[in-house]
Amino acid sequence: MIEIRVGKLARMLGVHRNTVSNWIKSGKFSARPTVGRRYLIERADFIHFCRNQGISEDITAQFANSGGFAKPRAHAAYPVARDTDRHTEKGGGMTDGPIGSVMVVGGGIAGMQATLDLADSGYKVFLVEKSAGIGGAMAQLDKTFPTNDCAM
């Protein structure tokens, strides 16, 4: 199993990142998504694909043997908005239907709950928070009434 990131693979192969995304979407490049915008692909599939694309064996071998980018990750991968991308996919490929995503403004207890509900029922959510971390006022509380539970 090789773990890849679209951007890095694109740079390595000298193609645009959208090209790689398109390969994945069309099934040409049989990778499946995993956490943090990374993709997993079988080693054999990867080598086979590179051969078909006429990619130099050196690069392929270098990539395949390094195990892709499955390097120690020092943090959970938070999905970070790509500043160059525009998230314009419409819901289900329709052009006039609503867009299947929601923006939640405010990362306090209410914003977080709304975000989780929507994300778990099939909607993409952008949670916009003005400070450096979510949690809001509830995170500042010591205990909460009427159960004296820790607010955290």
Partner 1 sequence: MNVELLTLSEVEEFSGNEGNFSVRIKKNPRYVDMDKCIACGLCMQKCPRKVDDEFNMGVGKRKAAYIKYGQSVPLKYAIDAEHCIYLTRGKCRACEKFCPTGAINFEDREKHLSIDVGAVILAPGFHPFDPSGFDFYGYGRITDVVTSLEYERMLSASGPCMGHLIRPSDHTEPKKIAWLQCVGSRSTNRCKNGYCSSVCCMYAIKQAVVTAEHLNEGIPQQTIFFMDIRSHGKDFERYYETAAAKGIRFVRARPHTILAGKNNMGVTMQYTAEDGRMHCEDFDLAVLSIGLEAPEDGPVLAAKFGIELNSYGFAQTTDFEPVRSTRPGIFVTGAFQAPKDIPQAVTEASTAACEAARALMPARGALTHEKTYPAEQDVTSQEPVIGVFVCSCGINIASVVDVDAVAQYARTLPHVGFVENNLFTCSADTQSLIAEKIREHHLNRVVIAACTPRTHEPLFQDTLREAGLNGFLVEMANIRNHNAWVHQALPEAATQKAKDQVRMAVARVAQNDPLRQLKVDVVQKALVIGGGVAGMNAALALADQGFDCVLLEKSDRLGGNARRLAATDRGQKVAPMLTRLIERTESHARIKVLKKAVLRSAVGSVGNFVSKIEVDGDTRAVTYGTAVVATGAAEYQPREYLYGQDERIMTHLQFDDQLAQNEAAVGRARSSVFIQCVGSREPQRPYCSRLCCTHSVKNALRLKTLNPEMNVYILYRDIRTYGEREDLYKSARDLGVIFIRYGLDSQPVVSRKGDDLFVEVFDPVAQLPLKLYADYLVLAAAVVPHDHQALVELFKCGVNADGFLNEAHPKLRPVDMSVDGLFVAGLCHYPKPMDESIAQARAAASRAGLILAKEEMQLDAIKSYVTENCDGCALCVDVCPYRAIKLEQEKIDGRSHIVTDPALCKGCGLCAATCPKEGVYVHGFTLPQLKAQVEALLAEATA
Q: Point out which residues pair with 39 in neighbouring strands.
A: 4, 33
51 or 87: whose CB is closer to partner 1? 87
> Considering the rule CB under 8 A, would residue 97 count as an interface residue with partner 1?
yes
Q: Exposed/middle/buried for 145, CB within 10 Å: 0-12, 13-18, 19+?
A: exposed
Q: Which residue, 54 or 79, is less far from partner 1 as judged by CB?
A: 79
Task: Report the nearest approach of partner 1 to the CB of residue 87 (Å).
Answer: 5
Tell whether residue 113 is a contact of partner 1 (CB under 8 A).
Answer: yes
Give the torsion sign (CA, 99, 105, 111, 112): positive
**Using the rule CB under 8 A, is 100 a contact of partner 1?**
yes
CA gap 129, 132 in Å, rounded: 8
Residue among 76, 77, 15 at smallest CA distance from 49: 15
Which lies closer to partner 1 via its Cβ, residue 58 or residue 71?
71
Smaller CB separation from partner 1, 28 or 73: 73
Interface pattern 119-148 for partner 1 (x via CB under 8 A): xxxxxxxxxxxxxxxxxxxxxxxxxxxxxx
Q: Largest Cα–Cα distance of the chain, in whole Å?
A: 67
111 binds partner 1 (CB under 8 A): yes
54 vs 122, which CB is nearer to partner 1? 122
> Which sign does the torsion angle of CA 47, 51, 57, 59 carry?
negative
Contact between 2 and partner 1 (CB under 8 A)? no
Can residue 83 be called a binding residue for partner 1 (CB under 8 A)? yes
Cβ proximity of 90 and 82 under 8 Å: no
